[in-house]
Amino acid sequence: MKKAISLIICAVMVFCAMGPAISAFADGSCNCGFSPVIYVGPLGCTSIVRDAGTENEQQLWKIDTKFLLSNLNAVLPRISRGILFHNTDLLGDALVEFVNACFGDLALDSEGRSKANVTTPQLNVPEGSRHGPDSDYYFDYDFRLDPYEHAERLHEFIGRVKALTGHNSVKLKCSSMGGVVLSAYLDKYGYDGIDVIICRCCPLLGTAVAGEAFCGKIELNSTSLTRYGEDAIPFLETGFADDFIEGTLYALLDTLKGAGVIDGLCVLGDRLIKDVGDRVFEEALIPVFGTLPGIWSFVPEEYFDEAVSFMKLPEEGGLHDKVYAYRNAMANIQSNLRAAKDDGVKVCIICGYNVQRTPLVTLWKSTSDGTVDTKYASLGATCSNVKEPLDDSYLASLENREYLSPDNMIDASTCALPECTWFVRDWLHCNGNAGIDELFSLVMTSDEVSVKSFDKFPQFLEADDDADMIYPVTASPDALTRLKERPSYLNFIRYIFSLIKRIFQSGN
């Protein structure tokens, strides 16, 4: 009898130790009701390493600070002499040498293949069967390569995750460049076996910063530089007296702008670009970044032809074919997502707006999350310039205001999927936010997913980084209202500077 009892206890213990398998049927399928999540990471989701495993091992991406500084040290005296004595040859040589020393080995060959000694040794393979709302499988990739190569790997990855978990479908949560991988995937394999698609800040139709850079349009502008700094300040995590440091930095930036220091820096920068920009493009940027199909995937359609010529893309060969192949994925993403949605896949596209974008491009007024333009991430929203409402004439001509943001900055009716595209004002590119995570949980667990499905999360939201939350957008915020709603030192400083600006403007 004792033997029988201990056998039963043993059997129970073994069964319990199997964990998630408890919810499995005898045929290995899982009945937990929550298909596994695959997180398709952003650019730089895995390290790119030269001579991995040898004593010369060097991480090339993300570039390691020591490596960057040692390369900079080697050229700094020549850069200083070049600037000081206005010796453009010396300066050009030094800058070209610096860019090539840091990034040269990232370049791909004419077939779009990496150098044999430059690899991604830490790529994930799915392991274990643990899945659920708080657990995902991380798909990473070498951002330089052809997105269709990642799509093939993702296809195998999905198959493996299904086998491990006993589910016949998965959820794809794509962050930033993850949307490029998704675009190639949907174009090649369709949406079979996918039940949820989330696109977080994805450059689905590209980003202007890549389009303009690949056409050689670089411009420094003091307003955009100052605003870029100001918009990034609330996201600083200094770990100590955050609010005070943020407020002080904001005041400092605005003061420097007012005193003309930032304009002076821009003049210097513009002179530098004029003097040596062509050479740095010709001898360093084009030979490196022009060979990366991954970076080409960020070029919006309207820049593409000019970029092909400016970046001297070869007229044939593997690299040429790979760069051109992705144009199909980008051209088809709207119809591919629409088809998936119409067939019952739950889709959530979410993007930031009203953040000052990278201050190096001529299109600096394009509203964005700081990196990806809202119009490209949202698949076609009509957007105002950053920090401004849409034109009065546009607003007056709008017959249907169902998809117009309460601050009059975004008209989502022109999006490919207006009913499942969310917008978050003042949300910096891919910044973590508990409110947005809560929205994702709802998207993953609800039967109906649209901008009308969740009272707490309507189409237009506003990010509050300090509270780590998002709120429905009400109207355009003035500094005093923001201070009253969320009293903080940073908002107090913002209010004071808005007053100073108003007095200054009325005096002019």
Task: Please report how close the Cβ of residue 411 comes to Zn ion at its closest, in angstroms.
Answer: 40
CB closer to Zn ion out of 132 and 190: 132
CB closer to Zn ion out of 43 and 164: 164
Query: Crossing angle for the helix pair 178-189 and 147-165, nearest 10 degrees?
Result: 80
Q: Residue 334 to residues 187, 204, 286, 431: CA-CA distances in angstroms?
A: 11, 9, 30, 25
CB closer to Zn ion out of 126 and 290: 126
Cβ-based burial of 57 (10 A; exposed 0-12, middle 13-18, buried ≥19): exposed
Rounded to whole angstroms, the Cα distance separating 124 from 136 reads 12
Task: Please report how close the Cβ of residue 38 comes to Zn ion at its closest, in angstroms.
Answer: 14
CB closer to Zn ion out of 129 and 431: 129
Task: Please report how close the Cβ of residue 129 comes to Zn ion at its closest, in angstroms.
Answer: 8
By the rule CB under 5 A, 363 interacts with Zn ion: no
- Helix or strand holding residue 246 (H, E): helix 242-258
Task: Please report how close the Cβ of residue 39 comes to Zn ion at its closest, in angstroms.
Answer: 17
- Helix or strand holding residue 421 (H, E): strand 421-425
CB closer to Zn ion out of 32 and 265: 32
Dihedral class, residue 430 (left if φ above 0, else alpha if ψ from -120 to 50, else beta): left
CB closer to Zn ion out of 30 and 249: 30
Task: Please report how close the Cβ of residue 437 comes to Zn ion at its closest, in angstroms.
Answer: 20
Distant-in-sequence contacts of 262-269, Cβ < 8 A, 24+ apart: 262/222, 262/225, 262/226, 263/222, 265/220, 265/222, 265/225, 266/220, 266/221, 266/222, 266/225, 269/220
CB closer to Zn ion out of 30 and 280: 30
Rounded to whole angstroms, the Cα distance separating 138 from 126 reads 8
Task: Please report how close the Cβ of residue 160 comes to Zn ion at its closest, in angstroms.
Answer: 15
CB closer to Zn ion out of 32 and 101: 32
- The 8-class DSSP code of residue 30 comes to B
- Residues 310-329, interacting with Zn ion (CB under 5 A): none
SS3 251: helix
> x/- site string to Zn ion, residues 19 to 58, per CB under 5 A?
-----------x-x--------------------------
Cα dihedral sign for 135, 141, 146, 150? negative
Task: Please report how close the Cβ of residue 447 comes to Zn ion at its closest, in angstroms.
Answer: 18
* Total interface residues for Zn ion by CB under 5 A: 2
Rounded to whole angstroms, the Cα distance separating 390 from 397 reads 11
Tokens describing residue 189: 């394999």
CB closer to Zn ion out of 32 and 442: 32
Q: Residue 295 to residues 106, 211, 404: CA-CA distances in angstroms?
A: 12, 10, 33
Task: Say which residues have a Cβ less than 8 Å from residue 42's Cβ, sequence separation at least 6.
Answer: 175, 176, 177, 178, 430
Query: Do β-strands 421-425 and 346-353 pair in parallel, antiparallel, or remain unpaired?
Result: parallel
CB closer to Zn ion out of 167 and 425: 167
Rounded to a whole number of angstroms, the distance between the first and last alpha carbons of the chain is 98
Task: Please report how close the Cβ of residue 200 comes to Zn ion at its closest, in angstroms.
Answer: 23
Task: Please report how close the Cβ of residue 249 comes to Zn ion at its closest, in angstroms.
Answer: 47
Task: Please report how close the Cβ of residue 159 comes to Zn ion at its closest, in angstroms.
Answer: 16
Question: What's phi and psi for 7, nearest 5 deg?
Answer: -65, -45
CA 455 to chain centre: 27
Task: Please report how close the Cβ of residue 194 comes to Zn ion at its closest, in angstroms.
Answer: 16
Rounded to whole angstroms, the Cα distance separating 79 from 102 reads 16
Task: Say which residues have a Cβ less than 8 Å from residue 146's Cβ, sequence separation at least 6.
Answer: 112, 293, 294, 322, 325, 326
- Angle at the Cα of 430 (from 425 to 432), degrees rounded to 5? 90
CB closer to Zn ion out of 30 and 461: 30
Task: Please report how close the Cβ of residue 137 comes to Zn ion at its closest, in angstroms.
Answer: 13
CB closer to Zn ion out of 40 and 170: 170
Residues binding Zn ion (CB under 5 A): 30, 32
